[in-house]
Amino acid sequence: KQEVTQIPAALSVPEGENLVLNCSFTDSAIYNLQWFRQDPGKGLTSLLLIQSSQREQTSGRLNASLDKSSGRSTLYIAASQPGDSATYLCAVKAYNTDKLIFGTGTRLQVFP
């Protein structure tokens, strides 16, 4: 059974720092991995999607990498800003299934 874990559970950093959020999954037979942002009381905003055949994806200050064989993905946030404060979730999709399996999330706080 696929399990998705995110470390750290919470992170508080000063503005301007470069950050790395980690996501690990137990079954490497995934089709893709998606990173989301969730603001308090709000929905999930899709940030990046990495196909299993890809190593990384970039969008602005965000860069996500995928190492399928070791069951890991990282989300790199460059030059963090207070507006980046949110919970970041990763989710994996296996072959022949519709569902996303979500991680536990990392709650990020960036202070000025």
Partner 1 sequence: EPEVTQTPSHQVTQMGQEVILRCVPISNHLYFYWYRQILGQKVEFLVSFYNNEISEKSEIFDDQFSVERPDGSNFTLKIRSTKLEDSAMYFCASSERAVYSQPQHFGDGTRLSIL
CB 35 within 8 A of CB 89: yes
Give whichever of 25 and 80 is closer to partner 1, judged by the CB atom: 25
Closest CB 35 distance from partner 1, rounded Å: 10
Q: Hunting for tokens 């995928």 — which residue is that?
A: 66
Give whichever of 31 and 111 is closer to partner 1, judged by the CB atom: 31
d(CA 12, CA 111): 7
Give whichever of 18 and 46 is closer to partner 1, judged by the CB atom: 46
d(CA 19, CA 77): 5
Closest CB 49 distance from partner 1, rounded Å: 4
Give whichever of 80 and 89 is closer to partner 1, judged by the CB atom: 89
DSSP labels for 26-66? S---EEEEEEEEE-TTS-EEEEEEEETT-SEEEETTEEEEE
Binding site for partner 1 (CB under 8 A): 31-32, 34, 36, 41-46, 49, 51, 89, 91, 93, 95, 97-105
Closest CB 96 distance from partner 1, rounded Å: 9
| Phi, psi torsion values for 8, nearest 5 degrees | -80, 170
